[in-house]
Amino acid sequence: MNRRIGFLVVVLAVAGIITVRGALSQVTIQPTRKAINLPGKDAQLPFSDAILTGNTLYLAGRIGLDPKTGKAPEKIEDEIKLLLDSEKDVLVAAGMTMDDLVYVQIACTDLSLFEKFNPIYKSYFTTKNLPAREFIGAGSLLRGGHFELTISWLPAGRRCNAGRTK
């Protein structure tokens, strides 16, 4: 009986040493975090245009404002184009395209604008495999905007490094 207990103690001690040694030798890799900002971005704004961390790109919500007036254009179509052009500019700065998108969320103050938004939105893509999308209602947006767009991007089968895809 003592031999069995002695053998069990030795086995447990060896297993404990192997477990502790393995846990201590694991390296934790911290993903890089890079802010992406367009030239001319107001330095007073308390956010970045986008953050690239590891293989994921997060774009800040954007509103289609006229850069000259700081307000939404009167024509809805112009607002949609300004919104999508600004998102496209941020993606280009990160080394990506609209076709790389995986998920898009659009908040809209008037859901009846859904039909006006879709054909313009679709024209910004060259792929048939459009990203998953959510079009949701919003009570109101800053500066009279009707749309706010938010994007999360995680490349499928591609490696992202410091704003460039490989």
CATH of the domain at 85: 3.30.1330.40
Domain that holds residue 48: 33-165
Nearest alpha-carbon partner for 79 in 142, 128, 151? 142
Please report whether residue 2 resides in a domain: no
Please report whether residue 118 resides in a domain: yes
Please report whether residue 107 resides in a domain: yes
Please report whether residue 13 resides in a domain: no
Question: What is the tens place of the pLDDT at every residue in 74-93?
Answer: 999 999 999 999 999 999 99
pTM given for the model: 0.73
Please report whether residue 3 resides in a domain: no
Q: How far is CA 115 from CA 80, 100, 120, 127, 131, in A?
A: 12, 24, 10, 20, 18
Number of domains in the chain: 1
Question: What is the tens place of the pLDDT at every residue in 94-147?
Answer: 888 899 888 999 999 999 999 999 999 999 999 999 999 999 999 888 888 999
